[in-house]
Structure 1
Amino acid sequence: MKTPPKPTPAELDLLQFIWPLGAATAKQVHEAMLKERPDVAYGTVLRLMQIMHGKGLLIRDESQRSHIYAPAVGKEAMQTNMLQDLLQRAFSGSAKALVLTALRSGISKKDREEIEKLLKDGDQQSAPP
């Protein structure tokens, strides 16, 4: 499978709105974005979506009058791809270094408790019976 292109920060921001929608017109994406960014222009959203389609970040259904756009790659797959890239470029492939850096940068008590539970549950699953 071909590695998806890396989105720019603006493209990644737009994907955060379109992933929950699944498939949507530019107008629907614009309306979703307006709730958080009242100053975003429809033309800007449409143009960015057209660029993202050209790059392969979005797929487009042109069978209706209003084109329907959908993410070419799911959120989890994109996050995994971007994490792998970061892991290689910034941490020489060391997941341990990445995690330790993230933990040192400060996390909330709730996040720490969730991480500890995940680690504990993982240990129990891998322990012999």
Structure 2
Amino acid sequence: MSSEVTAKPTESELEILQILWEKGNCTVRDVHDILTRNKEAGYTTTLKLMQIMHEKGLVKRDTSSKTHIYSALASQQKTQQHLVSRLIDNAFNGSAARMVMQALGNHKSSKDEIEAIKKYLNDLDHN
């Protein structure tokens, strides 16, 4: 299997990927327990989603023990880049500036986040 994962995760699959990116290797039970902290979800639904994600190449599954262990195959950075590009194209008519201004206008950013954004923009300006 190539290291370039091209499947586009659904919203539910993205929630699972977020858990795997943060926690690393997890069982279905591990993922399900984390998911149900914030929303109602059935165990069999989580299992089925993770099986589908395996078929799509978003996760890999280690079946060497009784309990299957899943880990993300989809790169967090590449997935985020793809989603942001799609959002810019579809919702902001290709304008990254409009998306950034909308995001900053709708979300309270911390002082540290604002400083990081300023530094990033300054670095872009000087390259």
| Corresponding residue of 2:12 | 10
Q: Residue 107 of structure 1 aligns to which amino acid in structure 2?
A: K
Deviation at 1:92, TM superposition (A): 3.3
Distance 1:68 1:86, change over 3 A: same
Q: TM-score, normalised by structure 1?
A: 0.75
- Alignment: residue pair count: 124
Structure number, greater radius of gyration: 1
Partners of 2:5 and 2:57 within 8 A in 1: no
Is there any run of 5+ residues in structure 2 with no aligned partner, and where?
A: none
Deviations 1:11-63 (A, max 9, x none): 111222221121221122223334x2474332221111111112221111222
Q: Residue 55 of structure 1 aligns to which amino acid in structure 2?
A: K
Distance 1:113 1:7, change over 3 A: same
Q: TM-score, normalised by structure 2?
A: 0.76
| Corresponding residue of 2:29 | 27
In 2, the alpha carbon distance for the partners of 1:82 and 1:109 equals 23
> How large is the Cα RMSD of the aligned pairs?
2.6
Deviations 1:45-93 (A, max 9, x none): 1111111112221111222222211111122221111111212222333
